[in-house]
Amino acid sequence: MKFDTPATTNPIDAMKAVGQPADRVEGRFKVSGTAPYAYERHDLGPDTAYGYVVAAGIGKGRVAAMRLDEARRAPGVLGIVTAENAGPLGKGKRNFAKLLGGPDVDHYHQALALVVARTFEEARTGAGLVRVEYERTDGRFDLAALANTAPAVEGSSGEGSEAPPVGGVGDFEGAFARAPVQLDQRYTTPDQSHSAMEPQASIARWDGEKLTLWTSNQMVHWGVVDLAATLKIPEENIHLASPYVGGGFGGKLFLRADALLAALGARLVKRPVKVALTRPTIANNTTHRPATIQRIRIGAERDGRIVAIGHDSTSGNVAKGRPETAVAQTQMLYAGANRMTAMRLAEMDLPEGNAMRAPGEAPGLMALEIAMDEMAEKLGMDPIEFRILNDTQVDPGKPERRFSRRHLVDCLRDGSERFGWANRNATPGATRDGRWLVGMGVAAGFRDSPVQTSGARVRLGRDGVATVETDMTDIGTGSYTIIAQTAAEMLGLPIERVAVSLGDSAFPVSAGSGGQWGANSSTAGVYAACAKLREEIGRRLGFDATDDLVFANGEVRSGNRSVPLADAAKDGDLAAEDKIEFGDLDKKYQQSTFAAHFVELGVDAYTGETRLRRTLSVCDAGRILNPKTARSQVIGAIVMGIGGALTEELAVDKRHGFFVNHDLASYEVPVHADIPRQDVVFLDTPDSTSSPMKAKGVGELGLCGVGAAVANAVYNATGIRVRDYPITPEKLIGELPQVA
């Protein structure tokens, strides 16, 4: 099905299943422990072996010698995979660093070997007996030291966030110099880790030349393509299954070392092998969000109208890696005739940087939305009114290109009223509650709404149950449920009469889970397959092709004639397969999502400890397919934003090139006690240019801007402006007001 003209009225608009707060259809499997996650397949036979990764202990250099004899003699050890016996390996196009190192070491904790044994304990013990001698060389580990010489680069996150090396409209430098009110500030964001609950984990089994891989992966088809390229085998020889994923946040978009090493280990010992990366290995071995150094300049007239806005960002990555596209949102979030963005990329020897939830916009808005508050203060304006004054309904760089739907002002106005913004004391440090300094903060949220080709197969059985098959994944987002709702709506069935099978490369290729495109694209693919099946059902039931068919309450109706849907399959199952292919509507219209995030918090006047009190997010994200699962996405994103604002930072050892705090004891993410009441409001804004579903993504929008809202609230509470994340107590305590 081609989608190249805006959607008109269609079966989804009935909103009997779609748009309703349905419970997760797979929830009972997760809470009962019967959902088969990648490492938990216990049906592969008693000969399944375990692999334990030996990871590099230097950040840059070579392996001078790897002594394996003692490990090979250890009890239970079946074999050891290294670069020497792995055979010739390629590299998937989505991997920047090699997944199996040796003799060269590209980054700390790069996998150098896999010890395979009968039990996990034996594999771990064997790995501890591998002796590696290194020749260490100097590496580039300090972004600040490299920033001034980093070259300008263009870049794309691969998820809708992109920018040229230097881009602009008008005369930014001249307009900024002439502006009567100016802001020129520097902001930094640190390296961050995905910290998903489920580690990267895989089980591999070979049957002759055919490989089956059970793995935790967000993008099944990408995994097949890149694993085939790495192993240098045909794609059709790989069967990849990922029906349940325990969190990804971008860290499982791409093929990782666990999957490759499981395949290599299974091939070596000729039995199934399971590999899970240990928590201390994940931060350095897999990908992370790269740190940024950002400079934002805003020039405005005295009435608050922006006349010049400029945003530079520098980040680092391994050779041929991507920049963190932190300037992307600044190209179009606010009006202003004179604009400039620039990105620079330093080549570094730290572990690979790659997509993490809302790549680009998440760290970019952490800086931009502080700058907007700082500018509002210089102008003597309320920060909400300053943002509203500079709203735009067109892409500022391409005024002929309108936003398909943009209700940022409504988000700000509605949120302001609900949150009680009028009660905020605009004077920093003026509100006390006992020992707590209390403040409110606001920030705008922005994230593009990209789409991807997505396919599905739908089958109607003799029992009247519809089964949907697609390689779409559910990473905790609710894919199973919204796909079931879509098929139920299209076929007029209760959701209980729809079965959904996901995450298997034997199924049609879907959009996968990433970039905020998953929900909209995958359900649109199911819509296309169901539309095709409806035509076949009509023919099977003897309706004329010109009949206007209604599918509802388990029946098919046209005029006065009504037939049970199940009758269409009484002589055998009916199946249809199709995919949604998007035209160029995203070129005619700027398709984006918007939010207003509000935060109230307290800062302990004695210790500098920050405690959130309440949050509110008002979201403009098209039709909401399931308010319950969508809310879950947003509140999870808010938690992630709070962590990014207050605690999360991968600390870099700039001498030896690794992230020191590579575990959940020292890389601090929020826990239940850190999170207050969270309110989420969705505006009703179906977008007919986005897809037949008229939906958009919301899972990344919920993160974009939250960190800045926290930072702005800290400033309102204390009068201390922190521009270097995270906002830890030591950055506050020296400037807090005297209390004794």
End-to-end CA distance of the chain: 71
Q: Three-state DSSP class for 190?
A: coil
Strand 398-402 relative to strand 432-433, pairing = unpaired
In 10 A of CB 616, how many CB atoms?
Answer: 24
Closest C-alpha among 472, 506, 589, 692 to residue 18: 692
DSSP secondary structure of 512-547: -S-TTTHHHHHHHHHHHHHHHHHHHHHHHTT--TTS
Residues across the chain: 740
In contact, 257 and 100? CB cutoff 8 Å: yes
> Which residue type, as a one-letter code, is found at position 658?
F
Residue burial 471-506, b: 16+ Cβ < 10 Å; e: rest = bbbbbbbbbbbbbbbbbbbbbbbebebbbbbbbbbe
CB proximity list for 615: less than 8 A, separation 6 or greater: 597, 598, 599, 600, 638, 642, 676, 677, 678, 679, 706, 709
Spatial contact of 252 and 475, defined as CB atoms under 8 Å apart = yes
CA dihedral 131, 136, 140, 145 (to 10 degrees): 120
- Tokens for 424? 């905020």
d(CA 12, CA 221): 28
Which helix (DSSP H) or strand (DSSP E) does residue 456 occupy? Answer: strand 454-460
Provide the token pair at 394.
Answer: 């067109």
Residues 6+ apart with CB under 8 A from 462: 566, 569, 570, 572, 573
Question: What is the DSSP track for 237-269?
Answer: GEEEE-S--S--TTTTSS--HHHHHHHHHHHHH
Q: Could you list the active site residues?
A: 700
The helix-helix angle for 220-231 and 257-269 (nearest 10°) equals 50
Q: Is the dihedral of CA 723, 729, 734, 737 positive or negative?
A: positive
Which of 275, 270, 283, 257 is CA-nearest to residue 115?
275
SS3 589: coil
CA distances to 250, 502, 640 from 668, in Å: 19, 33, 11
Q: Which of helix, strand or coil describes residue 699?
A: coil
Instruction: Give me 522's structure tokens.
Output: 């995958």
- Asked if residues 237 and 209 have their Cβ atoms less than 8 Å apart, the reply is yes
Q: Which of 597, 593, 596, 598 is nearest to 685 (CA)?
A: 593
Dist. CA 643–CA 396, nearest whole Å: 32
What is the per-residue DSSP string for 319-347? TTPPP--TTGGGGTSS--SEEEEEEEEEE
Structure tokens at 556: 């098919």
DSSP result, 149-165: GPPB--EE-SSS-EE-S
Asked if 698 and 621 count as a contact pair (C-beta separation under 8 A), the reply is yes
With beta carbons less than 8 A apart as the criterion, state whether 216 and 252 touch.
yes
Residue 309 forms beta bridges with which residues?
298, 339
